[in-house]
Chains A and B, each alone.
Chain A
Amino acid sequence: MLLAIVTISLMAGLFGLILGYASIRFKVEGNPVVDQIDALLPQTQCGQCTYAGCRPYAEAIANGEAPINQCPPGGQATIVALADLLDTEVLKLNAEHGEHLDVPLVAVIDEQTCIGCTLCIQACPVDAILGAAKHMHTVIADECTGCKLCLPPCPVDCIDMVPERLTIDDWKWSNPLDQLELAQDG
């Protein structure tokens, strides 16, 4: 009996040591959690989460100041990824912050109306607008994140948000399960 107890305690101790050693020896040098969160956010920089961009929101999440469901551009996929990373519960997107669009938007400037005031250039968080004072401005569609921040400053309301033009390469095969569900619903 005593022998058994001693053996088992010894073994437990030994395994404990091995595990402890392993956890030190094989520790994953992860990037700080803020970077990891930031990497999952869509980088639209729209501020819909009420923070001044994706990184500030990532910081707020990391500090436990904000829930993970405030980013509409990221939508449910981002929430799931965040929940996965942080090992928390998956929440539903908080509708107060906005709605998730399947096809992202891009800004287009109506070049006839644009007066070249440069206000939108100053508002754009990713420098996606090209132009000089008193000259017509234009949006580099590939760089535009669809954040809409350029809309309010425009004095002549010449910026429109349109769905991103999808090419044939953006088309996706649909999962047969989803098709089946659609067929049953319809």
Chain B
Amino acid sequence: MAKLFHFHGGLHLDGHKTESLTQELRQASLPAQLILPLRQHIGEYNKPLVDVGNRVLKGDVIATNSSLICAAVHAPTSGIVSAIGNYPVPHPSGQPDRCIVIDVDGKDEAAETDIIDPQDLEPDELIQRICRAGIVGLGGAAFPTSPKLARGKMHRVDTLIINGVECEPYITCDDMLMRHYAAEVIRGSGYLQQILRPQTTLIAIEDNKPEAIATLRQALANHPLADTEIIAIPTIYPSGGEKQLIQILTGKEVPHGKLAFDIGLLCQNVGTCGAITRALEQDQPLISRIVTCTGDNIQQPGNWEVRFGTPIGHLIEQAGGYKNADDPYLVMGGPMMGFALSGDSLPIVKASNCIMVMHEETIPHAPGYHDECIRCSKCTEVCPAQLLPQQLYWHARAKAYDRTQEFNLFDCIECGCCSAVCPSQIPLVQYYRAAKSEIRGAHKAQFKSDRARARFEFREKRLLLKQQADEERRRLKREALKKKQLQRGVSDDAMPDPVQAALERVKERKKAVEEETR
């Protein structure tokens, strides 16, 4: 087995994984209505391809766009498009966003598929098909997969990393996936190899999932892949972060301002591998995923395969409902990096790996009083990005945003380790997030004002040129006139000035109008 390395800091957290693993993976039933946000990935908005009233079949593309970084949205089942408009979506802001609503008809009729053996396809065709299937990274970030693969292919990838680490507490969807769909994961890794031609492939899993490791090893034995190794890595949060995982497996750090494929690496989540297999072998687009529904306020925690657009409340019903319906506190993602949801009517989207259903009291949520930083540096000790969180906090709090950037604010991966250990219980991550959004906002405003300046200056120039041109034309005209008069032998004085004449005409007309209105 390869030698493993360490990353700086990190935390040993209570896993809370057994709760949702006691039950087998189940299929969630179809709700009456699906709400599908037009944008479920990182990138530009998709444009709807359907109108209200259209009937759609399972697998139909209902929204897409033409930008490079795009992931189309497909109808998860058959039904009628009943509305296109703004609905609340899972987002930290709790704000609505553009969605397509489908009234489910229950027939679950599928669109026609076009199945080709993926073995016969060229890498570019494979990427094309992955793009068509609307696949995004299913680890939680939801970055479209096909552009990542295309760029990876351009950069030559030496090591392909399949990420089955799942380091956040409570979440078990990848664990379940590996137990149930091990063969798909392995075959999906094979297709990635076919596209990227890496020298080695490492499948990393945290050693707290022995069952998943065993199943995957078995699947690999049944379907051997060249130069592929399954590696159990020690359990420490956040070992599943892309940069941290790279560091554990290779000892390399992704250089500042670069991306993983700049150093010949590419990471994909195990869930994404499964989705790729389905897309390539069955021409099935990404219309569902495994979601963990867990927490201390849910009757039967577990994992479900859920169609996108399913309201979270519907999933919670399948899990037996709330223990105490008076004070649910819902979080999408894990406790360390997830975000609170504004209610249970929001839909499950491509990025929803886990719905944590907690009690209001068990979650520290009020922006209450916190102590001052005592400079104990516990945050520095645990920061996997090797930042100085207390310095970042100091400047973020003072709103000295330039200084936060000097302390590499944007290298913060928002893992939450620093907040979790701070004895003064400072919501450090929120300070960083606030600072980041302010800086992004300022950049945007700057961009806009620069454009406005350019347009303004362009207009000034245009007006100036026009004025010059007009003057030039008038001058030429005058000269031509003079020449004519000279030829006719008439003196300047005898001839009425044409400008004067014109002005007088205008005056007369005005007078007439005024009289009329009187």
Q: Please list the residues of chain A having a beta carbon within 8 angstroms of any beta carbon in chain B.
A: 38, 41-45, 53-55, 125-128, 143, 145, 167-168, 170-177, 179-180, 183
In the bound complex, residues from chain A placing their C-beta under 8 Å from that of B396 are 175
Contact B97 A44 (CB under 8 A): no
Bound-complex Cα distance A171 to B97 (A): 12
In the bound complex, residues from chain A placing their C-beta under 8 Å from that of B452 are 42-45, 126, 143, 145
Contact B367 A173 (CB under 8 A): no
In the bound complex, residues from chain B placing their C-beta under 8 Å from that of A43 are 448-450, 452-453, 456
Out of A54, A126, A128, A168, name the residue touching B97 (CB < 8 Å): A168
Contact B456 A180 (CB under 8 A): no
In the bound complex, residues from chain B placing their C-beta under 8 Å from that of A53 are 456
In the bound complex, residues from chain A placing their C-beta under 8 Å from that of B97 are 167-168
A110 to chain B, nearest CB (A): 22
Bound-complex Cα distance A175 to B370 (A): 13
Contact A143 B451 (CB under 8 A): yes
In the bound complex, residues from chain B placing their C-beta under 8 Å from that of A38 are 453
Bound-complex Cα distance A168 to B42 (A): 13
A165 to chain B, nearest CB (A): 11
Decide if B431 is an interface residue (CB 8 Å cutoff): yes
Residue of A at shortest CB range from B449? A43
Interface size on B, residues (CB 8 A): 37
Residue of B at shortest CB range from A179? B367
In the bound complex, residues from chain B placing their C-beta under 8 Å from that of A179 are 367
Contact B441 A173 (CB under 8 A): no
Contact B438 A177 (CB under 8 A): no
Decide if B92 is an interface residue (CB 8 Å cutoff): yes
In the bound complex, residues from chain B placing their C-beta under 8 Å from that of A143 are 451-452, 455
In the bound complex, residues from chain B placing their C-beta under 8 Å from that of A183 are 366-368
Bound-complex Cα distance A177 to B372 (A): 12
A121 to chain B, nearest CB (A): 11
Q: Scan B181-212; emit 1 where CB is below 8 A from any A CB, else 0.
A: 00000000000000000000000000000000
Which of B370, B427, B456 counts the most A-chain CB atoms under 10 A from its CB?
Answer: B456
Decide if B32 is an interface residue (CB 8 Å cutoff): no
Contact B455 A127 (CB under 8 A): yes
A75 to chain B, nearest CB (A): 11
A102 to chain B, nearest CB (A): 11
In the bound complex, residues from chain B placing their C-beta under 8 Å from that of A171 are 91-93, 95, 437
Bound-complex Cα distance A74 to B433 (A): 24
Decide if B148 is an interface residue (CB 8 Å cutoff): no
Decide if B377 is an interface residue (CB 8 Å cutoff): no
Contact B441 A170 (CB under 8 A): yes
Decide if B83 is an interface residue (CB 8 Å cutoff): no
A168-B91, A180-B367 known; A174 vs B434 contact (CB < 8 Å)? yes
Bound-complex Cα distance A127 to B459 (A): 7
B403 to chain A, nearest CB (A): 13
Residue of A at shortest CB range from B89? A168
Out of B434, B445, B448, name the residue touching A173 (CB < 8 Å): B434
Decide if B342 is an interface residue (CB 8 Å cutoff): no
Bound-complex Cα distance A38 to B91 (A): 37
In the bound complex, residues from chain A placing their C-beta under 8 Å from that of B92 are 171, 173
In the bound complex, residues from chain B placing their C-beta under 8 Å from that of A128 are 455
Q: Scan B135-149; emit 1 where CB is below 8 A from any A CB, else 0.
A: 000000000000000
Contact A176 B445 (CB under 8 A): no
User: What are the 7 A-B residue pairs with the smallest beta carbon separation, nearest first?
Assistant: A172-B437, A179-B367, A173-B433, A43-B452, A171-B93, A43-B449, A126-B455
Task: Report how many A-B pairs have Cβ atoms within 8 Å.
Answer: 80
B343 to chain A, nearest CB (A): 16
Give me 15 A-to-B residue pairs in the complex whose CB atoms sit less than 8 angstroms apart, sorted by A's number: A42-B445, A43-B450, A45-B456, A54-B453, A126-B452, A126-B459, A127-B458, A143-B455, A172-B437, A173-B433, A173-B436, A175-B396, A176-B431, A176-B434, A180-B368
Residue of A at shortest CB range from B86? A168
Q: Scan B413-443; emit 1 where CB is below 8 A from any A CB, else 0.
A: 0000000000000110011011111100100
Decide if B484 is an interface residue (CB 8 Å cutoff): no
In the bound complex, residues from chain A placing their C-beta under 8 Å from that of B438 are 172
Residue of A at shortest CB range from B39? A168
Decide if B47 is an interface residue (CB 8 Å cutoff): no
Other than A53-B456, A167-B97, give 11 A-B pairs with Cβ distance below 8 A. A43-B456, A126-B452, A126-B455, A143-B452, A145-B452, A168-B97, A173-B434, A175-B397, A175-B399, A175-B434, A176-B370
Residue of B at shortest CB range from A125? B456
Q: Scan B66-80; emit 1 where CB is below 8 A from any A CB, else 0.
A: 000000000000000
Bound-complex Cα distance A171 to B436 (A): 11
Bound-complex Cα distance A127 to B463 (A): 11
Bound-complex Cα distance A180 to B449 (A): 32
In the bound complex, residues from chain B placing their C-beta under 8 Å from that of A176 are 367, 370, 426-427, 430-431, 434
Contact A175 B431 (CB under 8 A): yes
B487 to chain A, nearest CB (A): 38
In the bound complex, residues from chain B placing their C-beta under 8 Å from that of A170 are 441, 444
Contact B449 A42 (CB under 8 A): yes
Bound-complex Cα distance A83 to B313 (A): 53
Residue of A at shortest CB range from B462? A127
Bound-complex Cα distance A173 to B95 (A): 13
Contact A126 B367 (CB under 8 A): no
In the bound complex, residues from chain A placing their C-beta under 8 Å from that of B436 are 173
A122 to chain B, nearest CB (A): 9
Bound-complex Cα distance A53 to B460 (A): 11
Which of B91, B437, B441 counts the most A-chain CB atoms under 10 A from its CB?
Answer: B437
A24 to chain B, nearest CB (A): 27
Bound-complex Cα distance A42 to B447 (A): 10
Residue of A at shortest CB range from B366? A183
In the bound complex, residues from chain B placing their C-beta under 8 Å from that of A54 are 453, 456
A9 to chain B, nearest CB (A): 39
A80 to chain B, nearest CB (A): 10
Contact A173 B453 (CB under 8 A): no
Bound-complex Cα distance A183 to B367 (A): 8
Q: Scan B36-65; emit 1 where CB is below 8 A from any A CB, else 0.
A: 000000000000000000000000000000
Bound-complex Cα distance A143 to B92 (A): 28
Contact B434 A172 (CB under 8 A): yes
In the bound complex, residues from chain B placing their C-beta under 8 Å from that of A127 are 455, 458-459
Contact B456 A126 (CB under 8 A): yes
Contact A125 B459 (CB under 8 A): yes
In the bound complex, residues from chain A placing their C-beta under 8 Å from that of B95 are 168, 171
